[in-house]
Chain A
Amino acid sequence: MRPARLTVLAAAAAVAALTAVTGCAEKSDKGGSDAIHVTATDSACEVSTTDFPAGKVSIEVENKGSKVTELYVLFPDDRIVAERENIGPGTKATIAAEIKAGDYLFACKPGMKGDGIRTKVKATGKGSAEKRSPELDAAVAAYRKYVQEQADATLPKAQAFADAVKAGDLEAAKKAYAPSRLGWERTEPVAESFGDIDPKVDVREDGLEAGQDPAKDWTGWHRLEKSLFQENKIDDNDKKLADTLITDLTAWQKKVGEAEITPTSMANGAKELLDEVATGKVTGEEERYSHTDLVDFKANVEGAEKSYELLKAVTAKNDPELAKQLDTQFAALNTLLDKYRADKNTYEFTSYDKVGETERKELSDGVSALAEPLSKLAAAVAK
């Protein structure tokens, strides 16, 4: 059943891709060279050919506009194949990339902002890349955008937190701590996929490896959390750690676009966010000093809900019963969480050490009720 369905989907995707390509009426001028020429201005992004042979490709970009621009070669789901930043006005740049057969997008970003001016292109030849339905590609692209937005929005909040630490303002730092983590927690499965960043920013003391010295090797949010909330102090080392956190989070912000994201990884990512809640937040382990676990909890649920919302149209088609269940359980868990904040427009939640055993059990039951059907989302999407 499943392979047959995939074939049908792949065929549909191929037809859609062909339509898109032939839809580009203008026949390109290759200019007598093998290179692809892109002429960028402040309002246009002209591509010399939209159909080129797969393999080693050379792209020459000329910026004829007045703003600094950049060029991205993207998969249909917005994953970056190749990029070149900081192409100044009046300058040229060349991108060399190995591009497999398949559909792609070129995007010029005048001012290095926004989604860019996009053109669909196609690499033809041996060995085609896996095709997906345009609907799922759109979901992945939207999720990729969300992930980037979350990273972009985190930096200023983290900066505010770091600034408070560096100013030695204990109360302000405590207040800024939980909000600085929201974006990370919403997109944790993607954030964690960069193996080297996660241990630097989000490791807990018991997550250190044998031989690592907490005094030297423990960095990131939770080290600062311990200083602020348990030791009630800010020393010079904490101030240094605040800068390190910003450096590491900036690296994350830059790398997010490269994350490998597929419809099933989105679906399983949503489930993993609930797993994070089930293993770390419900137990109170994650924020053991600040007790802000419910803020992370809410952010994890929001991130999972975002994935689900983007996959909902496909889910509702493939497994309507599952979609109904997920709608119900997301609503139920959000209602339950709202019991722990006075104002639904803020992220000021009850301190988790004030949440009793019975209430924790209720929260845990709510998580199980959502996580179980959520674990079936990948299967529904892959149908």
Chain B
Amino acid sequence: MTDAQEPNVSEDEAQESTGGATAPSRRAVLGWGGAGLALGAAAAGGAVAAFNGGSDIAPAASAGAAVAFHGEHQAGIASAVQDRLHFAAFDVKTKDREELVKLLKDWTAAARLMTAGLPVGDVYEGVPEAPPTDTGEALGLKPSRLTLTIGFGPGLFAKDRFGLDGKRPEALVDLEAFPGDNLDQARSGGDLCVQACADDPQVAVHAIRQLARIGFGKVAVRWSQLGFGKTSSTTPDEQTPRNMMGFKDGTRNISGTDTAALDKHVWVGAGDGSDWMTGGSYLVARRIRMHIETWDRTSLREQEDIFGRDKGEGAPVGKSKERDEPFLKAMKPDSHVRLAHPDSNDGATILRRGYSFTDGTDGLGRLDAGLFFLAYQRDVRKGFVAIQRRLSKNDALNEYIQHVGSAVFAVPPGVRDKDDWWGRTLFA
């Protein structure tokens, strides 16, 4: 089996091997005397040590850097948003709880290596007659701020399955049918999910591919989604990127450095029920198809009215700068920003981490594109559900979008150290 080796090395050694804050490239690591995994382990420890500042927020100083894998919360939620996404939802095929636990441990070990920029086992030094353990397409690439984030879907807590039925959090609700939804079951749901974010698409794709490979027989990929353009930032000093409609959306997103807001709206608190989730979060994933061609034929005024922001600067109606405080009453009652704003939803706030997607064209020659929406919140009922109830009923944008995929996951707390593993608080 693909048992990834655990990075296990003293801090001194680790610091020395990475030479400070810049993590080594995959090729550089392999080149160090051919010791392969042993040195790889040192570098992994190093990458973790380099960012071990007590916070799980990694500096986005360099696109090639590694983001710490260990921490109180999982990386990939409040972490500065990377450029690319590969998101995969899995069905659990095994009926054996121990086998599922073993898989989660194997996945954790592999994730630890990959987020440090290392391959999962041999790439070209193995048995010639057998396939290599790691597929190798990320060899020579930098860690690229890869984060891997796991979530547990409602199905995992079903009765008579893994003995977890008493542990399903109340906040992990089955999403109601919202008006206008046209959900494809083949793009919805899942027992497990892994969100891979990186600045290099090949690094993100590689990571999901290795996990899927390790998982064959125990889990099967149900659906997956590639994303290419982040549509919101989690760093306040960054310009908000534009979505496929050409608008800045998500300007008011929770900042990854705003500890108070994260504690209030994103991280599950100790008293929230389901103790195993403390430090975790809840994820809602929605594949939102945009009717690109009709949008492109919509007048500029209507486009701006629909969003409640201007197209050039992204300033709210009546204001001049993107980050100026919006005056909601100046916007049309059905404008997107007005309806999505916390003030319109009793303060409901989510952390958005969506990406644009384009999956070529549909059979009618229309661009199959839109927003792969990822929202993290402390309680799905008070976050996404509260906001979407309002939006799905009233949002002027609905004429140009359709929700075609949907899933919800409980995202457990972070992996604390090299002995910890994804889901320990739930299964142990």
Contacts and interface: CB of A to CB of B under 8 A. Distances in A.
Most-contacted residue by chain B among A267, A368, A382 (CB, 10 A): A368
Contact of A375 (B93, B130, B218): B130
Interface string A345-370: 00000000000010001000100111
A379 B1 contact: no
B130 A365 contact: no
Most-contacted residue by chain A among B127, B217, B218 (CB, 10 A): B217
B217 A372 contact: yes
Contacts of A383: 127
A378 interface: yes
B1 A322 contact: yes
A365 B127 contact: no
Given A321-B1, A322-B1, A365-B93, A373 B126 contact: no
Given A322-B1, A325-B1, A365-B93, A370 B217 contact: yes
A70 B1 CA distance: 47
Given A321-B1, A369-B93, A378 B129 contact: yes
A321 B102 CA distance: 13
A372 B129 contact: no
B217 A379 contact: no
Contacts of B130: 375-376, 378-379, 382
B52 to A, nearest CB: 34
A379 B127 contact: yes
Interface in B145-187: 186
B1 A268 contact: no
Contacts of B220: 361, 365, 368-369
A368 B129 CA distance: 20
Contact of B217 (A2, A268, A321, A325): A325
A379 B216 contact: no
B129 to A, nearest CB: 4
Contacts of B129: 264, 267-268, 378-379, 382
Interface residues of A, number: 24
Given A369-B93, A378-B129, A329 B1 contact: no
Given A321-B1, A322-B1, A325-B1, A369 B216 contact: yes
A360 B217 CA distance: 16
A329 B93 CA distance: 12
Contacts of A357: 186
Given A321-B1, A322-B1, A325-B1, A368 B216 contact: yes
B216 A372 contact: yes
B127 A373 contact: no
Interface string B105-141: 0000000000000000000001101110000000000
B213 interface: yes
A378 B213 CA distance: 17
Contacts of B1: 321-322, 325, 373
Contacts, number: 46
B41 to A, nearest CB: 18
Interface in B1-30: 1
A267 B218 CA distance: 22
Contacts of A2: 127
Contacts of A376: 130-131
Contacts of B91: 365
A371 B91 CA distance: 18
Interface string A200-223: 000000000000000000000000
A325 to B, nearest CB: 7
A372 B217 CA distance: 8
Contact of B126 (A325, A365, A379): A379
B306 to A, nearest CB: 37
A357 B222 CA distance: 13
Contacts of B93: 365, 369
Nearest to A370: B217
Interface string A254-289: 000000000010011000000000000000000000
Contacts of B127: 2, 378-379, 382-383
Contact of B131 (A264, A321, A375, A382): A375
Contacts of B186: 357
A4 to B, nearest CB: 14
Contact of A369 (B126, B131, B217): B217
Contacts of B213: 372
A267 B93 CA distance: 25
A369 B99 CA distance: 14
Most-contacted residue by chain B among A371, A379, A383 (CB, 10 A): A379
Contacts of A321: 1
Nearest to B127: A379
A329 B220 CA distance: 14
Contacts of B218: 369
Interface string B210-221: 000100111010
B217 A373 contact: yes
Contacts of B216: 368-369, 371-373
A368 B131 contact: no
8 contacts: A268-B129, A365-B91, A369-B218, A373-B217, A375-B130, A378-B127, A378-B130, A382-B127
Given A376-B131, A379-B126, 8 more contacts: A267-B129, A329-B217, A365-B91, A368-B217, A372-B217, A373-B1, A378-B130, A382-B129
Query: What 7 pairs between A and B have smallest CB-CB spacing?
Result: A379-B130, A369-B217, A372-B216, A365-B220, A264-B129, A379-B127, A378-B129
